[in-house]
Amino acid sequence: MILVTAATGNVGRELVPGLLRAGLPVRAGSRHPDPARWPDAEAIPLDLTDQDSVRAAAQGVTAVYLIVPETLEAADVQATLRTLRDAGVARVVLQSGFGVQGEGNLLGDAEAAVRASGLEWTILQPNWFMQNYNQMFRRGVRDRHEFAEPAGTHRTSFIDTRDIAAAAVTVLTGDGHAGRVYPLTGPAALDRHEVAAALSRALGHQVTYRPVDDDGFVDFLVSTGESDEEEARAIASIYPPIRADVTAPVTDDLPRLIGRAGYTIDDFARHYRADWQA
């Protein structure tokens, strides 16, 4: 049995069906489980701040795909790993983030905790999700034909969450991944003007990227109704690595894991075209 945390989130919603297609028993854990979504999976309530919840979810589980919510504290991650180990879980695959180095931030602390957990571990470090554009910027693209970010002309090797899930299936079902860290990127480093061009091609009309400062970014997200000010400022706070070009490198770990090239930004835009037309 494989436990997927945050099963209804960006990657989880792709990973659960991927594991089911591979013929594996899956327990889909989330704060708000949806049994109707995957009838062949076991949907359960899971709150990583509640170790009784974690303990119940871990019964009979051999491997866990661990996604750490931004609201979690490092102590919660450590407690969760202890609970998993005590429940007899043998293996954990942590979804971290691209460019994470050292401790002092949630994902860095989570990586350190996983390494020290006594469990067999693997760490995936995906870059920024392409799916930000049909989620966080959906209304801006749909209603205003634009999106705004505090990213200047800096490049990011965006990755499709479908590819992250495919890599996770490989790691969870195959051998030779213990103690490995895989930085995962898409096939090209793009600036946001190039993202806007891909959206324009898919939608058949001009979509514009507007570079802004942090305040302009907050104003954009709030005015489009995508978030409140507190959440928008929290999102703005994670842009400095982009402006420092930390997210620009392209790695070959993804195609080596999944046996094909990752989806391009044009593939993504065509696949999700309807999200900006609703």
Q: How far is CA 166 from the centre of its chain?
A: 12
Residue 70: the pLDDT is 80
pTM here is 0.94
Burial 151-178 (b: 16+ CB within 10 A, else e): beebbbbbbbbbbbbbbbbbbbeeeebe
Contact 141, 147 (CB under 8 A): yes
Domains of the chain: 2-125 (3.40.50.720), 130-156+187-276 (3.90.25.10)
Looking only at the bridges linking them, the beta strands covering 208-211 and 180-184 are unpaired
Q: What is the CA radius of gyration of the chain?
A: 19
Pairing of strands 120-126, 91-95: parallel
Chain mean position to CA 70: 11
Averaged pLDDT in 10-residue chunks for the chain of 278 residues: 94 96 95 86 93 95 93 90 96 93 78 94 98 96 98 98 98 95 98 98 98 97 94 92 95 98 98 93
CA 219/CA 20 separation, integer angstroms: 41
For 15, phi then psi, to 5°, come to -75, -45
pLDDT of residue 86: 96
